[in-house]
Amino acid sequence: MASIYVIAALLLVIYFLVKLTHRKNLPPGPPPIPILGNALQFIFGQLQGKSNADVMLEWKRKYGNVYTMWLGPLPVVTVVDYKTAVDAFVKNGEAHAGRPETFVFQKPRQHMGVVFTDGPEWQEHRRFALHTLRNFGLGRNIMQQKILEEAFFRFDALDKQLEDSKSGFVDVNPTPFLEVLISSIINKLIAGYRYDETNIDEFRSLKRNIDKMMDALTPLDQITLNEYTYKLPFLRKRYATLVQPQHDVHAIMTRQIKDRQVQVASGHHHLDMEHGGDDYIDA
């Protein structure tokens, strides 16, 4: 087993050195350390009482509005200026619309979706998503009204708790309160319903699995896992751990779509074809 780790470490160093030879083609940035990248700079910053954002702002002042930082052995070109970001991703969105290849996200999705994929199919899906969201009011006052509707619903429930409280005070943890509020806004756009006490378990399952997806992945996984290695005995379990939360989220989304199909077939839901539907699933 020790020899496997030694080989993995050597492969990491070789991979990093190969990437480093292409550094001249990247914007300037803080010098990385093999395997660790710029992790130590972030750690030293925290020891000095600085946030990661403070460290990145220091790099902006030193290297400019566009610089390269390294997350482990992976170079990341970072845009830290609003005007530059608008020029790159809005005015020239098609030219900068690519996505890094992340095997553990692309393999379970079969290179489909909006967030983790690339290529012509992704561009078509992206155009459809933007067109649909604009029809639902994205960037217009109607979207603000939908957001406020969910906010008022959540705060009305909070007001009810205050009324029922003998002391007139209620302890509220803002994090889960806002998580449910934001998730309800998103889910109502996608599936047409908010999260409340009747379906809060679905929200918790979604959040738990999305957190697992984001927390478990490391830069090492992005290097060691690919089409040729993910079935190897010493990587198979790791791959399964990373993709299981994705399968669980996909199962919830699939159930939402199938439920809608049943509702339409039974006449309990009407598809508004003229206006593009009531939500993303309709569209």
User: Distance (Å, rounded) from C-alpha 169 to C-alpha 176?
Assistant: 18
Place of tokens 């608008």: 86
pLDDT digits (tens, 9 = 90+) for 242-277: 999 999 999 999 999 999 999 989 989 888 877 778
The token duo for 163 is 């009324």
User: Distance (Å, rounded) from C-alpha 40 to C-alpha 36?
Assistant: 7
Percent composition of the chain: helix, strand, coil (DSSP 3-state, to 5): 60, 5, 35
Q: Is 200 exposed, middle or buried (0-12, 13-18, 19+ CB in 10 A)?
A: exposed
User: Distance (Å, rounded) from C-alpha 239 to C-alpha 107?
Assistant: 10
More confident residue, 171 or 72: 171
pLDDT digits (tens, 9 = 90+) for 21-63: 666 788 999 988 877 788 888 888 888 998 888 899 999 999 9
Instruction: Give pTM, 2 decimals.
Output: 0.70
Please name the residues in contact with 154: beta carbons below 8 A apart, sequence gap of 6 or more: 177, 180, 181, 184
CB 170 within 8 A of CB 162: yes
